[in-house]
Amino acid sequence: MAVKSVKPPRKSAISGKKYRRDPKLEFAFFLILADAILVTLIIAYVPYTKIDWDAYMSQVSGFLGGERDYSKLQGDTGPLVYPAGFLYIYSAIQFVTGGEVYPAQILFGVLYIINLGIILFIYAKTDVLPLWAFCLLCLSKRVHSIFMLRLFNDCFAMTLLHAALALLLLRRWNLGLIIFSFAVSIKMNILLYAPPLLLLMLKAMDISGVITALTGAAMVQILFALPFVVSHPFAYISRAFNLGRVFVHFWSVNFKFVPEPIFVSKQFAALLLITHLTLLAVFAHYKWCKREGGLLNFIHSQFLSIKLRLAPVSSFPLQMSGNNKSSFKLLKEEHIVTTMFVGNFIGILCARSLHYQFYSWYFFSIPYLLWRTPFHTLLRLVLFAGIEFCWNVYPSNFYSSILLLSLHLILLWGLWCGPEENPYVHSEASDTKLK
């Protein structure tokens, strides 16, 4: 009797000890604490750099003053070119901070720590990097500057994107899509994640689930845009979702070595777009859908699945069980994160212009991507340091932009040569059964 009564407490005590001594949890907490101290020192002692904050506040003031015509929402750096979610976020920031820089820096410091916590959660869930490599996430001078000294809207967009990705790892696809759409409403670069996300959705859910999730995401955009679309629809759509913008050659960190007349040409933009789509298709066919027999076979199987679901029950052939058997399995966390991060990185590689704040679009994925390559650890660290170096050369020049492109291409090659991964949680068990 005594032995029986002692056993449960001892088990819970042991499990409690294991939980408390989880090295990932302890190390993540240490990194967050150390970076929080660094963030505090940056805000206290490093001078703020005025770039877009005044323009943001001017645009928000126009919105709060009742202006709903996007073509009339202006700042000292130009017209408003972000979707409506940007206005709601920065209206809240203006309300909290009174439009003052110093309290806004504190707010962005908190945002940075929240983002770091989400990223550490993603890395811990995937178990791709060694524990010591988590430190790389805290070592970017440029990213700290983007958050605390520049106050860019990229920071909110990427934090929400990372939150959406964390929800996908928890298999909360509908909520993840809503948060993803919220991120898109702040800045359109989040759409670089859309193609790999759609592919993952088709793998993880049936067609009704995909439609439901996409409907939820679309509703976010409609609700946010409604005040502007009702009054001035053309101005909102043309300004908030302008895919043809040409950035100034001088501020570009990549492709600075390309002569300006070529850089701003439509032909160069078309070449990069074709390269982007081709690389996505190649990776989808040979890497992300390899287990399904390639991209075309995967699309065909999805089409067949939809057709069989819509067909009358009496017409179901016996092949339904064979064809649908492997559909809509649980995806491994590593496959979700790898597909999302690589898809975004391909978009970064093919972007015509990357401004300094755009580094936040992919910095937090770089350590993960490096450890998905077959490279030696020393080469991974050299690539990491090289990319960081290029983003800290100001202004960028012919040599720094060529170096950045070269490092990106080496990383892409490493991702291509990386080992094949099993995308499904239960595939190995089912394969063993079939044998």
CB proximity list for 365: less than 8 A, separation 6 or greater: 341, 344, 345
Q: How confident is the model at residue 435 (pLDDT cuts 50, 70, 90)?
A: very low
**Is 431 among the domain residues?**
no
Residue 395 preceded by cis peptide, ω within 30: yes
Alpha carbons within 13 angstroms on the beta-carbon side of residue 357 total: 18
**Is 17 among the domain residues?**
no
Q: Which of 340, 342, 392 is nearest to 183 (CA)?
A: 340
pLDDT at 167 over 90: yes
Contact 70, 235 (CB under 8 A): yes
CB proximity list for 271: less than 8 A, separation 6 or greater: none
Neighbours of 42 (CB within 10 A): 18
Alpha helices (H) in 350-397, listed in sequence order: 366-370, 377-391
**Is 203 among the domain residues?**
yes
- The rounded distance, in Å, linking the Cα atoms of 352 and 354 is 7
**Is 50 among the domain residues?**
yes
Distance of CA 29 to the CA centre of its chain: 23
User: Strand pairing partners for 424?
Assistant: 331
Residue 130 preceded by cis peptide, ω within 30: no
CB proximity list for 229: less than 8 A, separation 6 or greater: 222, 236, 237
Owner of token pair 């933009």: 269
Neighbours of 168 (CB within 10 A): 24
Residues 302-321 pLDDT 10s: 888 777 777 665 444 444 44
Query: Phi and psi at residue 48, in whole multiples of 5°?
Result: -65, 145
Neighbours of 258 (CB within 10 A): 19
More confident site: 48 or 14: 48
pLDDT at 413 over 70: yes
pLDDT at 85 over 50: yes
Secondary structure class of 325 (helix, strand, coil)? coil
**Is 430 among the domain residues?**
no
* Mean predicted lDDT score pLDDT of the chain: 89
Alpha carbons within 13 angstroms on the beta-carbon side of residue 104 total: 29
Secondary structure class of 166 (helix, strand, coil)? helix
Which helix (H) or strand (E) covers residue 79, if one does? strand 78-79
What does the buried/exposed string (b/e) look like for 59-88 if buried means 16 or more CB atoms within 10 Å of the residue's CB?
A: bbbbbeeebbebeebebeeeebbbbbbbbb
pLDDT at 343 over 80: yes
- The rounded distance, in Å, linking the Cα atoms of 130 and 135 is 10
- The rounded distance, in Å, linking the Cα atoms of 104 and 108 is 6
Q: How many residues does the chain have?
A: 435
pLDDT at 215 over 80: yes
The sign of the dihedral angle between the CA atoms of 32, 34, 40, 45 is negative
Secondary structure class of 395 (helix, strand, coil)? coil
Residues 246-286 pLDDT 10s: 778 888 999 999 999 999 999 999 999 999 999 999 999 99
- Percentage of the chain beyond pLDDT 70 is 89
Residues 326-340 pLDDT 10s: 445 799 999 999 999
301-307 own/partner pairs: CB under 8 Å, 24+ apart: 301/327, 302/202, 302/207, 302/327, 305/206, 305/207, 306/207
**Is 317 among the domain residues?**
no
pLDDT score of 433: 42
Helix axes 333-349, 194-204, angle to 10 degrees: 160
pLDDT at 6 over 80: no
Structure tokens at 418: 């990386």
- The rounded distance, in Å, linking the Cα atoms of 165 and 417 is 25
- Taking the complete model, does pTM exceed 0.85, yes or no? yes
**Is 262 among the domain residues?**
yes
Q: Residue 114 belongs to what domain range? A: 23-306+329-425
Structure tokens at 278: 């081709």
Q: What is the number of domains present in the chain?
A: 1
**Is 312 among the domain residues?**
no
Residues 189-201 pLDDT 10s: 999 999 999 999 9
